[in-house]
A = this chain, B = another copy of it.
Amino acid sequence: MVIIMEKEADVKQIEQIIDKLDKFGFSVHRSTGVDHTVLGVIGDTAKIDPRDLQVLPGVADAHRISAPYKMVSREFKHNDTLIKIKDITIGAEEIVVMAGPCSVESEEQIMTIAEKVSSDGATILRGGAFKPRSSPYSFQGMGEKGLKLLRKAADKYNLLLITEAMDKEQISVVSEYADILQVGARNMQNFTFLKALGQVRIPIFLKRGIAATIEEWLMSAEYILSGGNQNVILCERGIRTFETYTRNTLDLSAIPIVKKLSHLPIVSDPSHGTGLRDKVIPMARASVAAGADGLMVEVHHDPENAKSDGAQSLFPEQFSELMKQIRGIAKVINRKIR
């Protein structure tokens, strides 16, 4: 943390600030310039809110030098985190594809879709049993019965399973069936949930909040890592902008940024990122080109009758086409897709 004093700041004001920081256990390095005195604060400044310093008398400005997160940063851990589950590794040379319906609706539905996506090269089945819906009147998911169907389909077609838990109470039941536990965008700052996820060992798939900055997202991951669970996969799924043609705006620049700031793997979700079936293929290609470690894509054998998110689910033949195209792109950047 660097604190820049106002030109007119007097000695008493400067000393008050040094005393205050000293009381909190920080060392302060004082440097007297021609115009401004600058104070360098040494210690674990992640605990201080710069705004609390900015309002003190005599202070012109206060800035963090180091990021507020630690364990998620590449400075803390230099090498990429590889998340190994059975025979799949997320974050390595192979780009993983997670595919499946928005919600599990019936045994027939999930079996049909799982067979399809597996045969095209997806290695992880996605599908929701507990559904966060903005309306209390919308389909809320099949619950544990859905989890059982998802597991059955994943096992039959040799897929890993990723599915969402909506709060800390659902962690244990979801962990019983799934290989990866998904945290939805609206839960990115559900802090009691994040703390509980630090206590378990199942890999966590942490979606970016719809209006979250990358720093806030990494801070949420920090909650999980600092709690003890090192297995976090980040997922860019679109942020809210003024554009209304798409459901969200997929922020692909988050991919190279996260790769630089953090050692955690990052996956792109062009289905939620666009909300429109015919935009999923180009944005999936672009995600791979931008360096994503994986894709999450919604696929439905009958999207027009899907109980949720039909508008953004690919038809099976579109998914085959997508797989073909991204394999070509992966090769160009020295990665591969099964």
Contacts and interface: CB of A to CB of B under 8 A. Distances in A.
Interface of A: 2, 4, 20, 27, 29, 31, 33-36, 38, 40, 42, 44, 46-47, 49, 51-52, 54-56, 60-61, 63, 65-66, 68-69, 132-139, 166-170, 186-187, 189-195, 210-216, 219-220, 222-223, 226-227, 239-247, 249-257, 260, 273-279, 282-283, 285-291, 303-306, 308, 310-312, 325, 328-329, 331-333
A192 B215 contact: no
Contact of A219 (B134, B168, B247, B303): B134
Contacts of A133: 191
Contact of A329 (B2, B60, B251, B332): B332
A256 B250 CA distance: 13
A246 B277 CA distance: 28
A311 B50 CA distance: 9
A256 B279 contact: yes
A274 B256 CA distance: 11
B33 A40 contact: yes
B46 A36 contact: no
Which 4 A-B residue pairs are closest in the complex by CB-CB distance? A31-B31, A211-B211, A328-B332, A289-B289
